[in-house]
Amino acid sequence: MSSEFTFDPFLKGALPADFQWGYATAAPQIEGAWNADGKGLSIWDVFGHTPGKVKDGSTCDDACRSYDLYKADVARMKEYGVTAYRFSLSWSRIIPLGGADDPVNEAGIKFYNNLINELLANGITPFVTLFHWDTPQALEDRYGGMLNKEKYTPDFIRYARVCFERFGDRVKNWITYNEPGVYTLAGYAAGVHAPGRSSFRDRNEHGDSSTEPFTVAHTELVSHAYVCDMYKKEFQPTQKGTIMITLHGNWSEPYDETDPKDVEAAERAREFEIAWFADPLYGSGDYPASMRQQLGDRLPTFTEEEKRLVKGSSEFYGMNSYTSFFMQHRDGPADINDHKGNVIVHDKNKQGVERGIESDTPWLRTSPWGWAKLLRWIWGRYKTPIYITENGTTAKGEHDWKPKGPEDVLEDPHRIDFFRAYVGEVAKACQEGIIIKSYFGWTFTDNWEWAAGYTDRFGVTWVDFESEDKKRYAKRSAYFLKEYFGHLIRHD
């Protein structure tokens, strides 16, 4: 079959034969059925129903209706040629009240069993994330959720145990937390995501941006480590799966590469964003010295047992990244609420070079040059095999598209150019000997994009959110990636 796309012949077969690729999603963003079949409230159900919190005033009540349409979605994934699918479980669908002593919702278990079985029947490997930002509201109400490590950790361990017991015979790829840093910073530093806490009283009634993000991050790392320990001791010997965590982090480049202070600022920004979690997990076993220096005792301290449990707990490096920024040093002491490492963030460097082509999302610009550097930085610092668990873009003009018929395909050259460049850099890194084991595009369908509501279309499938059945239409990028990975993955 001849292709409408052309590919770099030097990259043919650059990815290993067992390389997994597909798309990533999160339960609150796609499932809908927010209160159906015994599901409890999550913090995002509450946040979305709070006026003024979501850009377009929408909620995730229906989202993409994946809860009802999962079979058709899996059939579409198969058509797109994916080998794997990364999705998250809704904690409050499985344990509506969330706690260690609270009852399990069998209807929730049944839904995920059906989804897992459908994927496997279609030759698609499930990658399952336990937590993608949707803490059960009951735990928030009881004790403040992740602000209380002692009470939260046993509840998370019990939830994980239920998932391993019920799904672990078929699920072999587990992720504990998705982007613990983004959950922490958006929810507790900026207060623009659930649970909506910060020091900024014009925005949030409660919270302390100078301490709570670091408390919550510590809870995530420690509870992750306890879950990994349990999995490896009690489930891995028979289930033969693996377990990891997924970290976020964009590339930080010096604003003036000839200024040692800017070079230092860029490295410090990477440490505050990425090494904050990755150093305790894969590196020194503790938080970066640059963070301790700026934050002092606002940064929690690991006990010796915690340090031992956290380091080496994640078997692989789960990596989510999208773009790059320029960092300039800031003179004087850091603001009490600073969490970036006392830097000034720019879209252009000192020479006026832009960080990349604009998407439909202000923070996200296409910058494969930084992505390439980030892959090497992570590998160089941690020497841990990488699973790329999210990467993708929005594109301008997609809201106004009107399909002419059921088989109409949206042309999205911006997204194709993005994928060509970023996935190409993955292939080049593999040729250099960096071990990269997967690539999951964000995302499968346009979805409810958290506080942006339905205003950000990240999918390779266009969704008609006005239609009752959230009708889906392919975008050209879905077929591009199918052929691209066909070219890049070695066929032994």
- Distance in angstroms (rounded) separating the CA atoms of residues 260 and 252: 14
Secondary structure element (H or E) that encloses residue 306, with its range: helix 304-310
> Catalytic: 212?
no
Q: CA 44: distance to chain centroid?
A: 16
What residues contact residue 234 under an 8 Å CB cut-off, 6+ apart?
164
Q: What is the largest CA-CA distance in the chain?
A: 62
Q: Residue 410 — φ and ψ, nearest 5°?
A: -75, 125
Q: Do 391 and 267 touch, CB atoms closer than 8 A?
A: no
Tokens encoding 313? 């707990």
Active site (annotated) includes residue 267: no
CA–CA distance, 327 with 340 (Å, rounded to integer)? 10
CA distance 266 to 328: 7
Structure tokens at 431: 């040729």
Residue 5 has phi, psi (to 5 degrees) of -110, 150
Question: Do residues 40 and 138 make contact, with C-beta atoms less than 8 angstroms apart?
Answer: yes
Residue of 381, 160, 395, 85 whose CA lies nearest to 249: 381
SS3 (DSSP) at 344: strand
Q: What is the DSSP code (8-state) at residue 374?
A: H
Sign of CA dihedral 141, 146, 149, 151: positive
- From the candidates 31, 118, 140, 179, give the one annotated as an active-site residue: 179
Measure the CA–CA gap between 185 and 168, rounded to whole angstroms. 31
| Axis-axis angle for helices 106-121, 66-80 (nearest 10) | 10
Report the candidate in 136, 128, 185 with the shortest Cα–Cα distance to residue 156: 136
Of 390, 398, 425, 449, the catalytic one is: 390
Catalytic positions are 179, 390
